[in-house]
Amino acid sequence: MTILVAGGSGLVGSAILNELSRSKKQAVGISSKDVNLLNRSETFDFIHQLKPSLVVDAAAKVGGIGANDKYPVDFLSENLQIQTNLIDACHYAGVAKVIFLGSSCIYPRNCPQPIKESYIMAGGLEPTNSAYAIAKISGLELIRSYRKQYNYKWITVMPTNLYGPNDNFDLQNSHVLPALIRKFVEAKDSNSSTVSLWGTGSAIREFLYVEDLAKAIIFCADNYDSDEHINVGTGVGISIKDLAEKIAELTDFKGQINWDTTKPDGMPVKVLDTEKITKMGWKPRVDLDEGIIKTIKWYRENK
């Protein structure tokens, strides 16, 4: 039994490969250096030759609020191509199980909290990342359609905001938590007296350590079979202001935090309802402080 992890060099893919290795399962990870998933024929040929029994689609063009807002065509077009080529190739090769990874940005901007799986398409999307959200919604619907038309046991997992080792810390296109870690570490190391951050700090987000997601994906591969996607998160929210103050403390930054309120906050509140997966027996193991400490350590050792 061969497991393929697409996006194997990224934050999520590398964590899944590490978890599979610990579980003594045979897995192959690919990145854009190995297979160009934007190339349909190349993708089809690779999947047909490998003939995996399980494919985890962790490959995507991702970025923070600024990158999503500035390059919507890239985030929509490239993600549609990547996921459609890979999913269609899995059908062509007769892959028994596919796990497509969505994103919590698929939910409406002004969504009731915590967000249940059933709230999808119940309102307008957050404008700053609507292109990426629509791509992910399309992937979810493609998985559901393949289940309906061909009776596959393919599923969609919907993770919350992720962080951890091997994250992207590039300030131009990273997500909020790794960006905060980099800013505070650099400010501490350079003895800077101030750190400038986007928005008001009032937005509330939920953060899941990526190793916990990896365990959840393997858990779902063995235990979940439904055409409805399944949320994966902690169910616990924190304001960006409180998160910034926590990271400042954990990096020993003593200076002042300045908020640039001309920049967007994004979705006001985004916390997932994780009752479905926790009732099945999965729960996160790494709390936020522990996860941030581990991620700061990894960033300092690898920056």
- State what percent of residues in the chain have pLDDT above 90: 95
Whether 132 is a known active-site residue: answer: yes
Structural domains of the chain, with CATH: 3-165+207-235+272-285 (3.40.50.720)
**pLDDT single digits (tens) 32-67:** 999 999 999 999 999 999 999 999 999 999 988 888
d(CA 32, CA 46): 13
pLDDT band at 214 (very low <50, low <70, confident <90, very high): very high
**pLDDT single digits (tens) 95-129:** 999 999 999 999 999 999 999 999 999 999 999 99
Asked whether residue 253 carries a pLDDT value surpassing 90, the answer given is yes
Q: What is the average pLDDT score of the chain?
A: 97
Choose, from 71, 107, 132, 146, the residue flagged as catalytic.
Answer: 132
Q: Are 269 and 204 in contact (CB under 8 A)?
A: yes
**Mean pLDDT across the stretch 213-227?**
98
Please report, to the nearest 10 degrees, the dihedral formed by the alpha carbons of residues 32, 35, 41, 45 taken in order: -160
Global pTM value: 0.96
